[in-house]
Amino acid sequence: MRSGFVAVAGRPNVGKSTLVNALTGGKVAIVSDKPQTTRRRVTGIVNGDDYQLVLADLPGFQRPRDALTERMQRTVDQSLEDVEAVLLVLSARERIGAGDRFIAERVFGLRVPVVIAVNKVDRLKPGHIAEQMQNAARLGEFHSLHPVSALTGDGVGELRDDLVALLPEGPAYYPTEQRTDLAPEHQIAELVREKALQLTREEVPHAISVEVDELGEKVVRATIFVETDSQKQIVIGRGGSVVKQIGTRARPEIELLLGRHVFLELNVKTRPRWRRDEAMLERLGI
Ligand SMILES: Nc1nc2c(ncn2[C@@H]2O[C@H](COP(=O)(O)OP(=O)(O)OP(=O)(O)O)[C@@H](O)[C@H]2O)c(=O)[nH]1
Ligand SMILES: [Mg+2]
């Protein structure tokens, strides 16, 4: 039996969470086209006949601007300690540049094997992919380099085998039916936030957080927090249309997670400057 922990690092929005989901074969982390979707460490557990690969999906590397982003970056820094390897994710659709080099310096300095995934290669020309692979290869002394598409699954099997091969002998750390370590109320809050991110733009997604107030047999109640009353109006929408749509999209996934039908009741509340409120961030598990 092989087992161990691998941290997933990279710039915001390169597809780290999508890739963790693809590797675990289920939805453990929420995904959106907005940067800074992932705010806390989320564990994705990949089980095989003779291995358990524990992935730590992390927020994207960033320069902290407030208590929220400070905590996010601290999570990244702490999660890079004590891992067997790092999976460094890059986007083939963007220039591999200073931001990636900054992260690479940190990651290659850890003295553990670094596996690079050049993600989002779907629908890219082979020449363009080859060029990005060369740019990626210049980042440091990597263990291996994989072109992948987390979206289509291309290259994901090879990447998984490669990560598993790096694991030492060891026991299973989690029951083999478990896919993630997030408690159900936190998974539900994340699902609601994912739908809210899909339906909002500009500064609004960054001002949204979600907390589950009640997780009952038949009813799930959650609060969507924003920072200003105008953001609240946007999230509620005309005649409640936006918050209703958030609920419509989130409910099937919550029911799948819980294995039962539930009523989902969503409230939208203004909580000025919650991103600077340490007690609130603590409660949100960030
Ligand atoms: N075309 C394409 N899009 C992808 C791929 N992987 C992820 N995406 C998209 O990229 C966007 C960001 O994906 P996430 O998985 O949330 O990225 P992330 O790196 O976890 O982002 P943060 O949590 O904000 O740091 C989403 O719109 C995904 O659908 C891929 O392989 N191909
Ligand atoms: Mg993410």
The residue whose CA has the least distance to atom 13 of ligand 1 is 15
- Among 31, 57, 93, 121, the mutation site with the greatest number of ligand 1 atoms within 8 A of its Cβ is 31
Residue owning tokens 């509340």: 269
Return the pLDDT at 105. 96
Q: Ligand 1 centroid vs 256 CA: distance in angstroms?
A: 23
Residue owning tokens 């390169």: 14
Return the pLDDT at 242. 98
DSSP category for residue 22: H
Return the pLDDT at 60. 97
- Beta strands 209-215 and 219-226 are antiparallel
Which residues, including other chains, have CB under 8 Å from residue 7's CB and lie 6 or more apart? Answer: 55, 56, 58, 79, 80, 83, 86, 87
DSSP string, 243-286: HHHHHHHHHHHHHHHHTS--EEEEEEEE-TTGGG-HHHHHHTT-
Q: Ligand 1 centroid vs 8 CA: distance in angstroms?
A: 13
Return the pLDDT at 134. 97
Burial profile 243-252: b = 16 or more Cβ within 10 angstroms, e = fewer: beebbebbbe
Return the pLDDT at 233. 98
- Beta strands 2-10 and 51-57 are parallel
Which contacts of 37-40 are long-range, i.e. CB under 8 A and separated by 24 or more positions?
37/12, 37/13, 37/194, 37/197, 39/68, 39/72, 39/284, 39/286, 40/72, 40/75, 40/285, 40/286
Nearest Cα residue to 231 out of 199, 278, 190, 255:
199
The residue whose CA has the least distance to atom 7 of ligand 1 is 15
Return the pLDDT at 29. 98
Nearest Cα residue to 112 out of 134, 141, 78:
141
Nearest Cα residue to 197 out of 31, 11, 72, 78:
31
Return the pLDDT at 162. 98
Return the pLDDT at 224. 98
The residue whose CA has the least distance to atom 23 of ligand 1 is 38
Whether ligand 1 lies within 6 angstroms of the CB of 73 is answered as: no
Burial profile 175-184: b = 16 or more Cβ within 10 angstroms, e = fewer: eeeebbbbee
Cβ(173)–Cβ(181) below 8 Å: no
CA dihedral (246, 248, 250, 253) in degrees, to 10, reads -170
Please list the rounded mean pLDDT of every run of 10 residues in the chain (286 residues): 98 98 97 97 97 98 96 97 97 95 96 98 97 98 98 98 98 95 96 98 98 98 98 98 98 98 98 97 94
Return the pLDDT at 86. 98
The first and second tokens of residue 210, run together, are: 């979600």
Return the pLDDT at 178. 93
Nearest Cα residue to 124 out of 116, 133, 115:
133
Q: Which atom of ligand 1 is nearest to the CA of 34?
A: 24
Instruction: Tell me if residue 156 falls in helix, strand or coil.
Output: helix
Return the pLDDT at 273. 97
The first and second tokens of residue 171, run together, are: 């026991």
